[in-house]
Amino acid sequence: MNADEASGPKPIYLDVEEGRLRIGGDVGDYLELLRLFEAEVVAAREELSDSRLHSDGQAAVLHRVKGAAANLGASALAEACLGGEQVIVAGGELDVGQLNETIQKTLSAIHVAAGQYRGGEVEKRREQRDAAHQHSPEDGRRTVLIVEDVPSNAMTVATALEELYNTQLAMDGATALELAQSNDPPDLILVDIGMPDIDGFEVCRRLKGNERTRNIPIIFVTGRSGEAEEEHGLRLGAIDFIHKPISPALLRARVRNHLQMKQQADWLRFASRTDPLTGLANRRFAVEQLEREWRRSLRSDQPLAVVMIDIDHFKRFNDTAGHLAGDDCLIAMAHSIAGTAREKIDVVSRWGGEEFLLMLPDADPKGAGIVAQRMVDTVRQLGWRHPAPDLDFVTVSAGSAATIASEDRSWESLISKADAALYQAKKAGRGRAEMDRDWPG
């Protein structure tokens, strides 16, 4: 026993009860985490014993072990790692020998704890977890992406959330970015700051700078407690910080609250850009996309096309059958027109009244003309009866135009050309498509 131990409280190398409660109370979970933690501690001891490891590397190892140790009730090791970090920050030299003594006593305590329980607890819990992970995104559960390079820390977080959410795991920043930008992105991301390749701050910066991922809430889960780092993370766009050791109840509460706020924000965003009758994009959103694609055309020198569509004799439809029947007709036409568009590429919007607009990135005049004619034909094949006695079925007219953007014009000039082509289609007898011939124009 050294002088510190004789004069102060006895170090707690492993408080099984505290650790078990910290991760939610399940014995099987706790034992499985201990097994992972044991391997991490052994690996850390080997790294710290390497004389070639510089002080920054030592600090990274200590930080990694500190969070997991605190989560699992290994208080003495967590405190020793914290003290070592502070020594290194102050410019001192880490006492590896003293730290190894604490590591060895912690490992011994882990072996004793593991022997007190039957191995079947671990296998039983693993089977339960495997069953829980059979959920898919279609089951209505939200998905939380956990970005953490320390397996025991990752499992601690996953264990706290798996009964309520689908969980995904990324052990490094590159994998996190790939999963977040997939076709099935997570609803929320929990990310550690200190990772070996791309750190959590950089992951956050890239996700918030990407239009596809900028609205995914990001929470940092970290052992760092500096005010400057927390401010930096929030400035990058993170919505919260959770400090290790984590409280499962607090973690669940914060995740739940932020997911509820995201759901509300998603709904408001959807409502602000969606036509409430047809479900298509509204004019405001269409204009935003036209402005964006016009800028892209300027940069890439690639074409941009639009098709303007108008329901023929729609005023007579309303006057004859009433506005409720007219609304039903609008909805049917909207769905028919949308069905001809390329998913996730083209933008179909209700431009106003009985008029619709289709934006076609990278389409030339010929391609836009083909799409316009296809829309006209699709609506005709729908066979929607027109209530006026001298008309048979509802038809649409369409006008298309394409151009390559230039600095001296704006997207409005493209709309004007499509509008003029639509006028020609109406003038030529309706139920047909015409295209602007001024190319590249």
Listed by start position, the domains of the chain span 3-121, 133-272, 283-435
Type of residue at 198: I
Domain 283-435 has CATH 3.30.450.40: no
Give 122's pLDDT tier (boundaries 50, 70, 90): very low
Higher-scoring residue by pLDDT: 70, 309 = 309
Give 3's pLDDT tier (boundaries 50, 70, 90): very low
CATH superfamily of the 133-272 domain: Response regulator (3.40.50.2300)
What pLDDT score was predicted for residue 117? 62
Average pLDDT over residues 150-165: 90
Higher-scoring residue by pLDDT: 13, 397 = 397
Give 116's pLDDT tier (boundaries 50, 70, 90): low
Helix (H) or strand (E) segment spanning residue 95: none
Instruction: Note the CATH number of domain 3-121.
Output: 1.20.120.160
**C-alpha dist (Å) from residue 46 to 26, 50, 88, 311:** 31, 7, 18, 75
* pLDDT at position 403 over 80: yes
Burial class (CB in 10 A: 0-12, 13-18, 19+), 298: middle
* pLDDT at position 255 over 50: yes
Give 5's pLDDT tier (boundaries 50, 70, 90): very low
pTM score > 0.85 for this model? no
Q: How many other CB atoms are there within 10 angstroms of residue 394's CB atom?
A: 24
Rounded-to-integer distance, Cα 330 and Cα 279, Å = 11
